[in-house]
């Protein structure tokens, strides 16, 4: 067993991974090398704070049977999270700025790929196209992923980096999709609340709204913080699930951009 390390090679005390044996193929033999396997499509299956300055990022395959676990810094984790949720910042953050520059210049990020793990450090590559020219840009995985989620670019991983999810564990669920209401909500952690200027607000954050659903007709918007449902506090996902258990709720107490609102379902 070895301790997992993040992008920069620093030890991560909270995440322990199975030992990895590195095989040197063909270095001392004339035997032909096996053809390299193509990269595997992956998606962000989990983002969770594991310490005040570390975030665990899980990149899972389509069946969510295997994943690449990467421990990234707090700021990088927040940048990925905000980009994934399409959250709007008052002013462009670093990755927003880079995405805007690429769009202005007409350059396209075709994909990002987690390419290798060397000395406990992950490596990534950004496939960039500008006109007829293709460029392979070396990058930290966190920067590549933060850019990909802003530009809707696909994410891939070298197949050898994927590990069975059963051996890695999975972060506790931080989102809840509610088909009856036509919305999804997520935990409002300290860092996200600070970013939104809602450090003293207890509730769950509306992550997405289904067009034409009851939530949209009630007047809920993505980015609202639901504080109460029919008078029942919704300080976290567990409380939210308890509050919506039963009949479709009628009244929502929400926080929106510094204001407290009461919305009633028509």
Closest CA to 251 of 225, 222, 233, 231: 231
Decide if 201 contacts 193 (C-beta within 8 A).
yes
Final residue of a structural domain among 168, 199, 222: 168
Q: What is the pLDDT of residues 99-115, one digit of tens each?
A: 999 999 999 999 999 99
Structural domain including 57 reads 2-19+37-168
Residue 180's pLDDT is what?
87
Please indicate, yes or no, whether residues 163 and 182 belong to a single structural domain of this protein.
Answer: no
Please indicate, yes or no, whether residues 145 and 189 belong to a single structural domain of this protein.
Answer: no
Please indicate, yes or no, whether residues 249 and 199 belong to a single structural domain of this protein.
Answer: yes
| β-bridge pairing 108-118 and 155-157 | parallel
Percent of the chain predicted with pLDDT > 70: 80
Tell me, yes or no, whether 32 lies in a domain.
Answer: no
Please indicate, yes or no, whether residues 213 and 240 belong to a single structural domain of this protein.
Answer: yes
Q: Enumerate residues 6+ apart whose C-beta is below 8 A from 18.
A: 1, 163, 167
Q: What is the pLDDT of residues 146-196, one digit of tens each?
A: 999 999 999 999 999 999 876 665 555 566 778 888 888 878 877 677 767
Query: 124 pLDDT exceeds 80?
Result: yes
Burial class from Cβ neighbours inside 10 Å (0-12, 13-18, 19+) for residue 152 reads exposed
Please indicate, yes or no, whether residues 132 and 10 belong to a single structural domain of this protein.
Answer: yes
Final residue of a structural domain among 122, 151, 168: 168
Q: DSSP letters along 113-129, please?
A: EEEEEETTEEEEEEEEE
Q: DSSP letters along 189-222, please?
A: -HHHHHHHT-TT--SEEEEEE-TTSHHHHHT--T
Please indicate, yes or no, whether residues 79 and 115 belong to a single structural domain of this protein.
Answer: yes
Q: What is the pLDDT of residues 200-245, one digit of tens each?
A: 899 998 877 888 899 999 999 888 999 999 999 999 888 998 998 8
Please indicate, yes or no, whether residues 41 and 159 belong to a single structural domain of this protein.
Answer: yes
Decide if 127 contacts 109 (C-beta within 8 A).
yes
Please indicate, yes or no, whether residues 141 and 231 belong to a single structural domain of this protein.
Answer: no
Burial class from Cβ neighbours inside 10 Å (0-12, 13-18, 19+) for residue 221 reads middle
Please indicate, yes or no, whether residues 208 and 252 belong to a single structural domain of this protein.
Answer: yes
Domain count, the chain: 2
Tokens of 6: 């993040």
pLDDT grade, residue 7 (50/70/90)? low
Question: Measured between alpha carbons, how far is 17 from 199 in angstroms, rounded to an integer?
Answer: 34
CATH number of the domain encompassing residue 235: 2.30.42.10
Please indicate, yes or no, whether residues 72 and 128 belong to a single structural domain of this protein.
Answer: yes
Question: Measured between alpha carbons, how far is 163 from 40 in angstroms, rounded to an integer?
Answer: 12
Please indicate, yes or no, whether residues 93 and 194 belong to a single structural domain of this protein.
Answer: no
Instruction: Select the more confidently predicted residue: 207 or 75.
Output: 75
The helix (run of H) or strand (run of E) holding residue 136 is strand 133-139
Final residue of a structural domain among 148, 168, 188: 168
Please indicate, yes or no, whether residues 202 and 136 belong to a single structural domain of this protein.
Answer: no
Mean pLDDT value across residues 38-46: 90
CATH number of the domain encompassing residue 65: 3.10.690.10
């Amino acid at each position: 067993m070895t301790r997992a390390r993040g992008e920069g090679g620093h030890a991560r005390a909270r995440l322990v991974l199975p030992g990895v044996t590195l095989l040197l193929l063909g270095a001392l033999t004339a035997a032909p090398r096996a053809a390299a396997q193509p990269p595997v499509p992956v998606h962000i299956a989990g983002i969770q704070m594991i310490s005040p300055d570390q975030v665990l990022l899980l990149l899972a395959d389509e069946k969510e049977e295997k994943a690449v676990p990467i421990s990234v810094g707090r700021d990088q984790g927040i940048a990925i999270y905000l980009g994934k949720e399409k959250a709007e910042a008052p002013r462009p953050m670093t990755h927003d700025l880079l995405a805007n520059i690429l769009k202005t210049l007409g350059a396209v990020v075709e994909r990002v790929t987690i390419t290798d793990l060397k000395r406990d450090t992950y490596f990534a590559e950004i496939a960039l196209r500008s006109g007829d020219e293709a460029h392979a840009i070396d990058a930290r995985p966190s920067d590549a992923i933060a850019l990909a989620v802003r530009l809707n670019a696909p994410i891939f991983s070298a197949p050898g980096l994927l590990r069975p999810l059963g051996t890695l564990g999975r972060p506790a669920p931080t989102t809840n999709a509610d088909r009856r209401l036509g919305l999804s909500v997520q935990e409002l952690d300290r860092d996200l609340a600070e970013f939104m200027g809602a450090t003293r607000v207890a509730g769950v954050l509306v992550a997405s709204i289904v067009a034409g659903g009851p939530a949209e007709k009630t007047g809920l918007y993505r980015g609202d913080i639901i504080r109460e449902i029919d008078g029942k506090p919704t300080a976290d996902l567990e409380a939210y699930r308890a509050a919506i258990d039963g009949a479709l709720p009628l009244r929502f107490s929400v926080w929106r951009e510094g204001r407290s609102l009461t919305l009633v379902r028509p």
